[in-house]
């Protein structure tokens, strides 16, 4: 049966305690609802007490209702992997047993393919030393959990915060993902960025240098010939310093003599947006990243040249070396350098 217009799509994930997974998904733009429940077992209408025995075959899971025009399944997969320990075959953190094992339950062939590809890319990244054991399984009937489990992080916030901390989940997530913050699962897909939430101004001030913040958020221009990448020609790609969106390739970089990194074209057609015209001598159009909306620099349409010149601030960029493309999830761009 075809999905009715405006009807949300469904995704199902088991990531250990469903309180924590519900919070992780409900904070994502485009998610309509995250329902705590049980799935994968052989007992009808299971209760929390029955599932807790570990003998019904069920796992604690969340059923995600989402608007695919606002958030992609690829983005849901990213959130899932960043909130679990995928190397634990016996449960999650302080919670042990079959009911706490991780899994992605696919509802169609597209979800299965994307789930398997995401697991493969995570394995290739080398982020985890141990094998990834999260299963990818066909969806079974999903049973909503008892009412007191729904929205637990909102109803009992203090108890929930203590649980997430002392169970070990919060510390694990921070230890793994703070040092791998720039890893991306599907950065080459425009749909992947649907649902990406730009950090607040205060968060950006904490994560960026004053120059990076000034350039990307306030439209400043860094000094010519006194910036990181103006004469940098190592093989790799340049991504948005805020979001990690792929922007430019070293293959398209050239010395324009201006003292700023210059490129003949973006890495992807959708990567940058031409904004307002600027004023002044030899001035072009402002260019910004599509999803983070970072100020990047300007593009010039020079009548004597067959191509454009993208004149970009180094402070708006982060460079990913060719040999690190796999590590940070940009594996799809390796073929550009073959």
Q: How many CB atoms lie within 10 A of CB 240?
A: 23
Q: Mark the ranges of the chain whose per-residue pLDDT is less than 50.
A: 1, 281
CA 135, CA 142: separation in Å to the nearest integer?
Answer: 17
pLDDT of residue 1: 40
Q: Give 286-312 pLDDT, tens digit per residue.
A: 999 999 999 999 999 877 767 789 999
pLDDT of residue 143: 98
Residues with a catalytic annotation lie at 17
Q: Give 13-52 pLDDT, tens digit per residue.
A: 999 999 999 999 999 999 999 999 999 999 999 999 999 9
The full set of domains in the chain, from first to last, is 9-193 (3.30.1060.10), 201-337 (2.170.150.20)
SS3 174: helix
pLDDT of residue 275: 84
pTM for this structure?
A: 0.90
CA 282, CA 280: separation in Å to the nearest integer?
Answer: 6
Q: Give 42-78 pLDDT, tens digit per residue.
A: 999 999 999 999 999 999 999 999 999 999 999 999 9
């Amino acid at each position: 049966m075809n999905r009715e217009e405006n009807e949300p799509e469904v995704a199902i994930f088991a990531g250990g305690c469903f309180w924590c997974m519900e919070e992780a998904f409900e904070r994502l733009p485009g998610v309509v609802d995250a329902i705590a429940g049980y799935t994968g077992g052989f007992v009808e209408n299971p209760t929390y007490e029955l599932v807790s025995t570990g003998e019904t075959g069920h796992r604690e899971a969340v059923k995600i209702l989402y608007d695919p025009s606002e958030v992609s399944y690829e983005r849901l997969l990213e959130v899932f992997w960043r909130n679990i320990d995928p190397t634990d075959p016996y449960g999650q953190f302080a919670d042990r047993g079959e009911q706490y094992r991780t899994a992605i339950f696919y509802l169609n062939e597209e979800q299965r393919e994307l789930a398997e590809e995401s697991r493969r890319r995570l394995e290739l990244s080398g982020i985890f030393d141990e094998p990834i054991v999260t299963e990818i399984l066909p969806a079974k009937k999903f049973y909503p959990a008892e009412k007191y489990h729904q929205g637990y992080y909102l109803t009992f916030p203090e108890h929930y915060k203590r649980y997430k901390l002392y169970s070990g989940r919060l510390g694990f997530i921070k230890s793994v993902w703070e040092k791998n913050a720039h890893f991306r699962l599907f950065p080459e897909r425009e749909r992947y960025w649907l649902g990406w939430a730009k950090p607040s101004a205060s968060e950006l001030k904490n994560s960026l240098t004053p120059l990076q913040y000034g350039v990307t958020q306030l439209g400043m221009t860094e000094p010519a010939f006194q910036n990181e990448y103006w004469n940098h020609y190592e093989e790799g790609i340049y991504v948005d310093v805020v979001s990690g969106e792929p922007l430019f390739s070293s293959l398209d970089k050239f010395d324009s003599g201006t003292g700023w990194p210059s490129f003949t074209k973006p890495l992807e057609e959708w990567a940058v947006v031409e904004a307002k015209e600027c004023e002044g001598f030899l001035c072009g159009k402002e260019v910004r990243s599509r999803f983070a909306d970072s100020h990047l620099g300007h593009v010039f349409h020079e009548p004597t040249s067959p191509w454009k010149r993208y004149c970009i601030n180094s402070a708006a960029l982060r460079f990913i070396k060719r040999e690190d493309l796999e590590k940070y999830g940009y594996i799809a761009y390796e073929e550009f350098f073959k």
